[in-house]
Amino acid sequence: MPETAEEIYRRSVDSLRMPPVEEWDTFPFDGELRPRALLRPEGEAWRPGEGGVDCPFCAAPDDGYLWANERWRVKAPAPNGLPVVLILESREHYGELADLPDDVAADLGVMLARIDRAVLSVGEIARVHACRWGDGAEHLHWWFMGRPKGMAQLKGSFAAIWDDILPPTPADVWEANLAQVVAALDPASTS
């Protein structure tokens, strides 16, 4: 039987480990660190769009997106530290990957590859990190983060943190990068 959140909490009190992050080239911080105490489990917090009700993703008009077709929409947040950051959303409301019908799931695989290629088309991008976090909103979405060539320190799961630490990409460069992404997506666009 799987361990419950309460069981994980109990075995973790006074037993948290600190990984050897000071040895990791990718770790973005210096100085002595220690893990925070693990909080006792609570009920799951409400997420915007829970149960498909009042979902801000579903209600958003297409003009706030860089690209859209009958199933998917792509947007970009405000410029941050990485040269390209995109968000892929399903047009229809799905809460979890497991909720996707097989045909939509198959099309998702195609979209993941298309966006990866579009981000790489910007140039000077070594890797594209595709990330799925679902705690901020129920509506299914993925983040794509382009790691610049030659900046191996930004690799892996810390890319999202480095995106917040680095100074924002200049607006003109950001806009040119997004225009290249749209151009790379456009040939197969049905919007």
Largest Cα span, the chain: 56
Predicted confidence pLDDT, tens digits, the chain (191 residues): 787 888 888 888 777 777 888 888 888 888 888 888 888 888 888 888 888 889 999 999 999 999 999 999 999 999 999 999 999 999 999 999 999 999 999 999 999 999 999 999 999 999 999 999 888 889 999 999 999 999 999 988 889 999 999 999 999 999 999 999 999 998 654 44
Calculate the alpha carbon distances from 86 to 16, 53, 80 in Å.
34, 25, 11
40 located within any domain:
no
Provide the whole-model pTM: 0.87
Residue 41 is assigned to a structural domain of this protein: no
**87: containing domain:** 50-188
CATH number at residue 77: 3.30.428.10
33 in a domain, yes or no? no
Looking at the DSSP assignment, which residues form a beta bridge with residue 129?
A: 145
Residue 125 belongs to some domain of the structure:
yes
- How far is residue 119's CA from residue 123's CA, in Å, rounded to a whole number? 8
The dihedrals phi and psi of 67, each to the nearest 5 degrees, come to: -155, 145
Task: Report yes or no on 26 lying in a domain.
Answer: no
Residue 23 counted as domain residue: no
Quick check: is 17 in a domain?
no
Q: What is the pLDDT of residue 187?
A: 67
Tally of domains within the chain = 1
Specify if 175 maps to a domain. Answer: yes
pLDDT of residue 5: 83
Closest by Cα among 65, 105, 106, 104 to 88: 65
The pLDDT value recorded for residue 46 is 82
Task: Compute the distance between CA of residue 188 and CA of residue 173 in angstroms, rounded to an integer.
Answer: 25
Quote the CA–CA distance of 108 and 120 in Å, as a whole number: 18
